[in-house]
Amino acid sequence: MAKSSYPNLAVKPDLLHHVLTMAADAEIVAVKIAEEIQLDSRNPAAAWRLSERVSFCSDWQGKKPDPALNTEVRALWSPSSLYLRFACRYRELFVFEDSDPNGRRDHLWDRDVAEAFLQPEPSPERYYKEFEVAPNGMWIDLDIFPGGLADLKSGLKKSVFLDEKAHRWDAELAIPIKALTATFDPKAVWRANFYRVEGKAEPRAYLAWRPTGTAKPNFHVPAAFGRLRFVGGEK
């Protein structure tokens, strides 16, 4: 999540045209797997090789590319879970030292995180889900709607591995499909965006897969989301 705790979803017409144009050819593909996988970010399951990665290292405006902060995202799915894998390069680490006993941490976006914003189909225009994970394994999941947010309590599972020598951290998430949509149709195309934040004091790094194009850092621009397509579920 960018600076504001609550999303500003008003988008000017010129910005809307800009972000829709940029998102027109943006797609991440989730590949169906035959069976559930064991999350292990240090030794990823062979199934991850089935997926094609998307990557980004530019800021939320699509500017100032920084390969030292490159992020890769992969996706898999089963009838019960959506799996996401992040591979994040970093310069420095900024994490919280305290969390709930289960690792949940409110305002996690005020330190280093990787984020996934998912808008299942069908969903009202300004409703989507937000998932964040930190280099030390802390996490948060949120239900986003016009004017606010609420704890999603999705039941997600995660695995995080930090390689300080390589300046890289990897995270895997398993998100129950039932927490995302009550009527999952793998033929439907969802909307999605992925982000990174690094730093605890401004200027911080705000990176986006699909740029939102806002004047100030703001990830909450659903019009800028790319597509999430599911393959392998055809009958």
How far lies 15's CA from each of 21, 217, 224, in Å? 10, 14, 9
Structure tokens of 151? 């704890």
Q: Is the pLDDT of residue 224 over 90?
A: yes
Tell me if 88 sits within 8 A of 170, measured CB to CB: yes
Q: Is the pLDDT of residue 150 over 80?
A: yes
Q: Fill in the amino acid letter for 215.
A: A
Taking residues 88-92, what's their average pLDDT? 98
Q: What are phi and psi for residue 60, nearest 5 degrees?
A: -65, -15
| Domain 13-41+51-231 -> CATH class | mainly beta
| DSSP letter, residue 104 | B
Average pLDDT in the chain? 91
Q: Residues 49-73: pLDDT tens digits?
A: 999 999 999 999 999 999 999 999 9
Cα angle vertex 114, ends 53, 16, to 5°?
80
Other CB atoms closer than 10 Å to residue 59's CB: what's the count? 19
Q: Is the pLDDT of residue 23 over 60?
A: no
Beta strands in 8-152 (DSSP E): 27-32, 54-56, 71-77, 81-89, 113-119, 128-133, 139-145, 148-151
For the chain, which residues make up each domain, given as ranges? 13-41+51-231
Q: Is the pLDDT of residue 15 over 80?
A: no
Confidence class for position 125, pLDDT limits 50, 70, 90: confident
